[in-house]
Amino acid sequence: MSRKELPEINAGSMADIAFLLLIFFLVTTTMDVDSGISKKLSEKPPEGYVPPVIKKRNIFEININRNNELLVEEEPMKIEDLKEATIKFIDNGGGLGKLIDGVSTGECDYCEGARSTASSDHPNKAIISVQSDRGTKYGMYVEVQNELLKAYSELRNRLSLKKYNMTYTELEQAYKDSNRSDEELKEKVSDIKTSYPQIISDAEPTSAN
């Protein structure tokens, strides 16, 4: 009895189909991209540049040690208290200014802080200094930066609402929606940003032993 031959399956086109499917998935699949913290590095100062003298009260020192513990002005602090402490420092408005032709300069007329002479003179002089340790977890560093940005955001929103009847977030979005062509909105956005400029300095990390 003769053996029945099994029909052959033509698999010649399978490679082409697999290749087309591969291309399809590569084109249609999206990949998650990790986003970091946007930072604009300062330019290298020219030779012979002498940095200005900064009053100690205008520097808000934040340290994150190797154990991910937060020290603010050399005192322990919980991360959830950092935003309010930062707002108090930035918005203190302790500078009395100088009289020039009968006009007071340097005084913050929109600040709502305690106006303590032991804290910052003006928001445009208030510097946030963040120093971490090389053993600090990146997640903790990001949490600190987020709280600082929240502080600036809250202050900007408050001032914008008071002056322009809309939050800074809404103001900025309206300017973007105008394709950045509305000059009036541009001036308002610039005004709020100038009133509360984000001055955050990252100090050289300390080395864990």
Question: Among 122, 141, 120, 139, which residue's Cα sits nearest to residue 130?
Answer: 141
* CA distances from residue 141 to 52, 57, 166 in whole angstroms, order as listed: 28, 24, 31
- Which pLDDT belongs to residue 104? 43
The two structure tokens encoding residue 73 = 């002005």
Domain ranges of the chain: 56-155+198-202
Name the average pLDDT for the chain: 84
Q: Is the dihedral of CA 105, 171, 198, 69 positive or negative?
A: positive
Question: Among 154, 151, 148, 155, which residue's Cα sits nearest to residue 130?
Answer: 148
Q: What 3-state class would DSSP assign to 200? A: strand
Would you say residue 15 has pLDDT above 90? no
pTM of the model: 0.75
Name residue 125's beta-bridge partners: none
Q: For the segment 105-126, what is each residue's pLDDT rounded down to a tens digit?
A: 468 999 999 999 999 999 999 9
The two structure tokens encoding residue 64 = 């994150």
- Cβ contact 71:77 at 8 Å: yes
- Which pLDDT belongs to residue 25? 76
Q: 168-177 and 138-164 are packed helices; what angle lies between their axes, rounded to 10 degrees?
A: 80
- Cβ contact 123:108 at 8 Å: yes
Res. 28 pLDDT band, cuts 50 70 90: confident
Sequence-distant (≥ 6) Cβ neighbours of residue 37 within 8 angstroms: 142, 145
Q: For the segment 89-109, what is each residue's pLDDT rounded down to a tens digit?
A: 999 999 876 544 444 446 899
Q: Which helix (H) or strand (E) holds 130?
A: strand 127-132
Highest averaged pLDDT of the listed ranges 8-17, 94-103, 158-167: 158-167
% of the chain with per-residue pLDDT over 70: 79
Question: Among 39, 66, 135, 123, which residue's Cα sits nearest to residue 89?
Answer: 123
The two structure tokens encoding residue 54 = 């900064």
Look at 17 and 131; give whichever has higher pLDDT. 131
